[in-house]
Amino acid sequence: MTSPVRFDRGHTDDLMSFLTASPSPYHAVASAAERLEKAGFRQVSETDAWEGSTGGKYVLRGGAIVAWYVPEGAAPHTPFRIVGAHTDSPNLRVKPLPDTGAHGWRQIAVEIYGGPLLNSWLDRDLGIAGRLSLRDGSNVLVNVDRALLRVPQLAIHLDRSVHTEGLKLDKQKHLQPIWGLGEPGEGGLIRFLEDENGIEPGEVTGWDLMVHSIERPSYLGRDRELMAGPRLDNLLSVHAGTAALAAVAGSATSGADLRSAKQTDKLSIPVLAAFDHEENGSQSDTGADGPLLGSVLERSVFARGGSLEDRARAFAGTVCLSSDTGHAVHPNYAERHDPTHHPRANGGPILKVNVNNRYATDGSGRAVFAAACEKAGVPLQSFVSNNSMPCGTTIGPITAARHGIKTVDIGVAILSMHSARELCGADDPFLLANALVAFLEG
């Protein structure tokens, strides 16, 4: 039976607002939390004792969020249905000593985060955002969302070989943004951010800052059937997972999806797990290779009076969808794709397969997601890499191996992955969200 359609093009409109409000992982989880709060979720602290009450809860840790909804009738051994995603994107991040420059130009020292398409950061108006840590131990989110920095490209007159030999960028020499004239002054950037945010001078003692393109997301194409924007990899999935979890919780609260007492053995607990640091290996306390997800799920079991046996039973029945963007077939480079697998924009979510476990999908996992797409009335595509090309990876294999839970890799097909500005079909975000609702409903 097909479930009612929850989302349409208005979801894509909201995605564009989400992208604009989320220039860093810290802003992304704050944006997700704001939406969940409106859906009735409440934040719980990891340092507090947790109660086993029903309803929606979430945990924030740095640039990661784990949220879950416990329905009426859930037992300690009730399995979870998880949508996994990541909040970080490749970009340029500010170094510990940020103020630099040469020859009368003031510059900001940056380090390359993840694997960005470096040329996509050239000649763009850039803002700066992230987190400031204060002397009193608190953190403040900051976002200077105006034309503040720019990485200028070398003029063609000074690099005549660029058209014959290609653009060659040295990560240390050529990616340092300019932001003014004069000699670099110690503390210049941090003092500027203190002034911008009404913070007393000298109160900032730490920072996690990054640059972002200030160009707004937009529809494009003859019929506005495409959408371009920053950080689609992977805030598109974070936004879809947040919307889907809120929708499922709303249905349960309204009674639209409540099950009878005889059906409590079929219940599942919907979860959103959005991690940081996927783009550099996930090995952190907020990454998928850290203990955050396992700790939250385990504590949820124990808060409902469960035992280690209940925890084992719950994990054994759990399924995770690792949702991350994948590659649409590129019309100018079709030979780089598998000749029989050509995911298209607006063709629906993709199921990502790699027999060497770069993706976690197997046949039984495919069946789980195919059933969700069928229930949602959403088309499904398959992605596999060209055998001659190395395959990327996701949080999927990490999640499966670390927690021993069935994991399926899915996502939305895009172009220009890892660019400062990426491209997708305008329908695919809401098609994904509808499929995630069907999956989370069980």
Taking alpha carbons only, the member of 95, 86, 87 closest to residue 209 is 95
- Please, which residues bridge with residue 413 across strands? 326
Q: Cα separation of 137 and 147, whole Å?
A: 30
Distance CA 218, CA 226 (A): 9
Is 86 labeled as ligand-binding?
Answer: yes
**418 in a labelled binding site:** yes
Q: Which residues contact 38 (CB under 8 A, 6 or more apart)?
A: 246
Please report, in angstroms and rounded to a whole number, the separation of the first and last CA atoms in the chain. Answer: 13
Distance CA(298)–CA(42), nearest Å, equals 19
212 is in an annotated binding site: no
Cβ atoms of 36 and 253 closer than 8 Å: no
Q: Strand 80-86: give its sheet, edge to edge.
A: 42-43, 55-61, 64-70, 269-275, 80-86, 319-323, 406-411, 350-352, 381-383
**Residues flagged as binding site for Zn(2+):** 86, 157, 418
Residues that constitute the known binding site? 86, 157, 418
